[in-house]
Amino acid sequence: MKGIYSDITKRIKEEPKWYDENGVPRYEEFHPRWCPNIYADEVVLMEIECQECGKRMLVELSWSKTEKIFSGKMSLEERIKKRLIHYGDPPFHDGDCIAGVTMNSIPIRVVQFWRRSKGRWKRIRKLEVSLEVEKGEGK
């Protein structure tokens, strides 16, 4: 379960535009520079759905090369290509959906994919794909 940030959201009338990988609500337009992982080499903005209430929201995930070195964790690109990219529990949302924030989210699509090289972010649109399960695929 992600943290509850009602101390922030109750003071701001508008809905968050997206949430970072920790479930923190963000109100600026998305850019990978807002990623909390300062060592990130890949960053995605993806759409997920709450299993309980069906609410869709935009969330950010990151990956750094050190994760590959120290834990063997696949890059975001590899996870997208293998359809294994996953955000986990959705950010805390809509006070009535208490059960939903303790369930895994459903990945819907990669909205933006960014890679950093030599300190510069470059958007890679070919990795911005649907992640929805096709009928008949089962899951």
User: Per-residue pLDDT tens for 89-135?
Assistant: 999 886 667 766 678 899 999 999 999 999 999 999 999 999 987 65
Q: Which domain holds residue 70?
A: 6-127
Domain presence at residue 84: yes
Q: Is residue 111 part of a domain?
A: yes
Please give the Cα distance from 9 to 13 (Å, whole number): 7
Side-chain half-sphere of 110: how many Cα atoms within 13 Å? 26
Residue 132 lies in a domain: no
Beta sheet of 56-63, edge-to-edge order: 25-26, 18-19, 56-63, 42-50, 105-117, 120-123
Query: What total of structural domains would you count in the chain?
Result: 1
d(CA 75, CA 104): 20
| Residue at 1 is within a domain | no
Q: pLDDT tens digit string along 28-87? A: 999 999 999 999 999 999 999 998 889 999 999 999 998 888 888 899 999 999 999 999
